[in-house]
């Protein structure tokens, strides 16, 4: 057996690598740099952890979040791998002990916050040890065009240049457009790297966009349907986080909260309550989650629309990391667009960027917001929309999103489009969707009367149409390039050059409209398992996790427990055939789990 397969089975419990992993491992083994662009849950960490155990020296992993480092190190130690982290959470005595152990060669992997790389203490340490590899996690943070730009990531190439011998370098990210990928290659100065893009698709995730009349009511329905599941609810503001968390707790659900306005102690306690399954639901802003390695999150609900597709896919991707079926649901309203534009305009300036660069970043953020809005309003396949955004190929029908499971028909809306475009022009191209809809429907609102809009020719010409129907046509016209929504204090609709062909009758316009509601999403069938045995295994896992003070999924993932129920191993040799069981975990837990499984012999 090749050494990489031996390490994979012994420490991580897997018999084979997932797509892309083996190629990257071989590349790093050979001393060549690599860039891995792989979706959340695809196993990026395996790509550098396996080579790290073969190299003679230490692997330095640059990681952006304390929580990520802690989770990764805990999981490595449980798998029999010596590892540590260096960040601001360590006490002075812990900090000294980690450095002393590192000098003695007691660690194979050290996780380091990017801010620590160029400190005098860490530089001195690196002069005394052999750094054989540097792995950069969340590598998109190096790009100012990425959604999580961190200036401290720009120090990485400086750190690498300062080492005695240049180590092999691996960079990894889940979300990277072509622009961001090029920045990673350039700013990290990767040397003739192997570039592996495994595709961005997460087949186990179901995507849905809803426009409920009451978000709070719909949220309670969704959570009730998933009452025994672990999930995250994302909100755009701290105030909304507080309101939603109270809503859930007041209705009998176990929820906790996370946002930048809480003390560091409370954020840490609340995060641990969620990770250790003491709280079922985490309600949070986007301050929560990057690098959180909780594998049993089975749903992510966005109470508000995020600012861009990159953030959405990264946040939604925190569901289903164990490979099990999971739901990603977005509750959309037009107000979400205004809120996000406000947040973009009021975002804190980055002191390391010039005024021109700041302006360019804001314009880029506004452009990304436009595509996020298109995602929320399209009638096309949601999975295909996301994958095309990242330059990936996809079928136009996935069969596993709310749009694909809704029956549509293509309808001609040329006449309606002409009326809408005429209204936008005749009202001076200075109003947003709401006002245009009100004019077309003949509203007698005080503002319309004050502005004298009731006397122009398009006033009331679509009075029989609902506002919802008009908004759908406007959204479609925008996506087809006949309208733009220019953002200032609020979005203002303007026609494009292409619209005049429609107005002159030279171009017909069609759109997909809902024909009839299909059945609710049908989850793909899993292997039938004994529910009683699965619960017993979860109880045992919870007891062991409590004694060791680690999250339950660090012992075994839900997927591993399900596989135990399917395979019903009776001997240590058979237990090793369970996905996620390696020699280390067999020695630690095999006897106890086999005893429980033995009571359910086939």
Flag whether pLDDT at 520 surpasses 70: no
- For 297-353, how does the pLDDT look when each residue is reduced to its tens digit (9 = 90+)? 999 999 999 999 988 998 998 898 888 899 999 999 988 988 888 888 877 766 666
CATH fold for the domain made of 531-598: DNA polymerase; domain 1 (1.10.150)
More confident residue, 229 or 144: 229
Quote the CA–CA distance of 28 and 25 in Å, as a whole number.
5
**pLDDT in the model for residue 46:** 92
Return the closest-CA partner of residue 372 out of 342, 329, 340. 340
Per domain, the residue ranges of the chain are 3-197, 205-389, 407-516, 531-598
- For 33-44, how does the pLDDT look when each residue is reduced to its tens digit (9 = 90+)? 999 998 777 788
**pLDDT in the model for residue 29:** 92
Flag whether pLDDT at 516 surpasses 80: no
Flag whether pLDDT at 386 surpasses 90: yes
Q: What is the CATH number of domain 3-197?
A: 3.40.50.300
CATH fold for the domain made of 407-516: Arc Repressor Mutant, subunit A (1.10.10)
- For 180-214, how does the pLDDT look when each residue is reduced to its tens digit (9 = 90+)? 899 999 999 999 999 998 878 888 999 999 999 89
Least confident of 139-148, 160-169, 170-179, 569-578: 139-148
Buried b (16+ CB within 10 A) or exposed e, 139-161: bbbbbbbbbbbbebbbbbbebbe
**pLDDT in the model for residue 349:** 67
- For 465-512, how does the pLDDT look when each residue is reduced to its tens digit (9 = 90+)? 999 899 999 989 998 999 998 766 678 999 999 999 999 999 999 998
CB 230 within 8 A of CB 294: yes
- The beta strand positions in 122-268, using DSSP E, are 131-136, 168-173, 194-197, 205-210, 230-234, 255-258
CB 271 within 8 A of CB 288: yes
Length of the chain: 602
**pLDDT in the model for residue 144:** 75
**pLDDT in the model for residue 345:** 81
Same CATH topology for 3-197 and 531-598: the answer is no
Is-above-0.85 flag for pTM?
no
**pLDDT in the model for residue 518:** 46
CB 388 within 8 A of CB 375: no
**pLDDT in the model for residue 290:** 58
Share of the chain above pLDDT 90, in %: 51
Quote the CA–CA distance of 363 and 14 in Å, as a whole number.
45
As its CATH architecture, domain 205-389 has 3-Layer(aba) Sandwich (3.40)
Residues whose CB falls within 8 Å of the CB of residue 436, separated by 6 or more in sequence, listed in order? 420, 423, 424, 427, 470, 474, 493
Share of the chain above pLDDT 70, in %: 95
């Amino acid at each position: 057996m090749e050494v990489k397969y031996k390490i994979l089975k012994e420490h991580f419990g897997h018999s084979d690598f997932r797509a892309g992993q083996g190629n990257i491992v071989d590349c790093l083994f050979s001393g060549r740099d690599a860039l891995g662009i792989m979706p959340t849950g695809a196993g990026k960490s395996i790509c550098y952890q396996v080579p790290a155990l073969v190299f003679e020296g230490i692997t330095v992993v640059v990681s952006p979040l304390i929580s990520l480092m802690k989770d990764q190190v805990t999981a490595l130690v449980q798998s029999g791998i010596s590892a540590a982290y260096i960040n601001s959470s360590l006490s002075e005595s812990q900090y000294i002990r980690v450095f002393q152990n590192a000098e003695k060669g007691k660690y194979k992997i050290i996780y380091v916050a990017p801010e620590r790389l160029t400190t005098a203490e860490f530089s001195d340490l690196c002069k005394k040890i052999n750094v054989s590899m540097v792995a950069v996690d969340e590598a998109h943070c190096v790009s100012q065009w990425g959604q999580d730009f961190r200036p401290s990531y720009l120090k990485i190439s400086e750190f690498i240049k300062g080492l005695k011998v240049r180590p092999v370098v691996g960079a990894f990210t889940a979300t990277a457009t072509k622009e961001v990928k090029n920045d990673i290659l350039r700013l990290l100065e990767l040397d003739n790297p192997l570039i592996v893009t495994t595709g961005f698709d997460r087949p186990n995730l179901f995507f849905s966009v809803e426009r409920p009349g009451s978000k709070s009511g719909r949220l309670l329905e969704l959570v009730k349907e998933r009452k025994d599941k672990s999930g995250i609810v994302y909100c755009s503001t701290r105030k909304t986080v507080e309101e939603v968390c109270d809503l859930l707790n007041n209705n009998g659900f176990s929820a906790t909260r996370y946002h930048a306005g809480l003390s560091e102690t409370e954020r840490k306690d609340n995060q641990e309550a969620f990770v250790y399954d003491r709280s079922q639901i985490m309600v949070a802003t986007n301050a929560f989650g990057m690098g959180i390695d909780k594998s049993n999150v089975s749903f992510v609900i966005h109470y508000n629309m995020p600012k861009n597709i990159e953030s959405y896919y990264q946040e939604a991707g925190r569901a289903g990391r164990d490979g099990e079926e999971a739901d990603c649901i977005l509750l959309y309203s037009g107000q979400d667009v205004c809120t996000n534009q406000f947040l973009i305009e009021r975002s804190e300036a980055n002191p390391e960027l010039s005024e021109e660069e700041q302006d360019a970043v804001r314009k880029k953020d506004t452009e990304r917001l436009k595509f996020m809005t298109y995602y929320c309003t399209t009638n096309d396949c949601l999975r295909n929309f996301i994958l095309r955004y990242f330059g990936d190929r996809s079928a136009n029908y996935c069969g596993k999103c709310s749009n694909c499971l809704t029956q549509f028909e293509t309808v001609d809306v040329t006449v309606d489009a002409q009326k809408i475009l005429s209204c936008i022009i005749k009202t001076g191209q200075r109003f947003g969707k709401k006002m245009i809809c009100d004019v077309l429907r003949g509203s007698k609102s005080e503002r319309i009367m004050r502005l004298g809009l009731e006397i122009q020719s398009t006033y009331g010409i679509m009075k029989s149409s609902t506002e919802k129907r008009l908004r759908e046509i406007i959204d479609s016209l925008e996506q087809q390039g006949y309208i733009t929504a220019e953002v200032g204090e609020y979005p203002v609709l303007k026609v494009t050059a292409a619209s005049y062909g429609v107005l002159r009758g030279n171009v017909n316009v069609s759109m997909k409209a809902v024909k009839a509601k299909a059945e609710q999403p049908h989850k793909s069938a899993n292997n039938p398992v004994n529910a009683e045995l699965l619960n017993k295994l979860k109880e045992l896992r919870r007891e062991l996790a409590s004694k060791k003070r680690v999250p339950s999924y660090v012992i075994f993932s839900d997927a591993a427990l399900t596989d135990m129920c399917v395979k019903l191993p009776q001997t240590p040799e058979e237990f090793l055939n369970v996905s996620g069981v390696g020699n280390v975990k067999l020695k630690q837990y095999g006897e106890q789990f086999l005893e429980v499984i033995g009571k359910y012999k086939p």
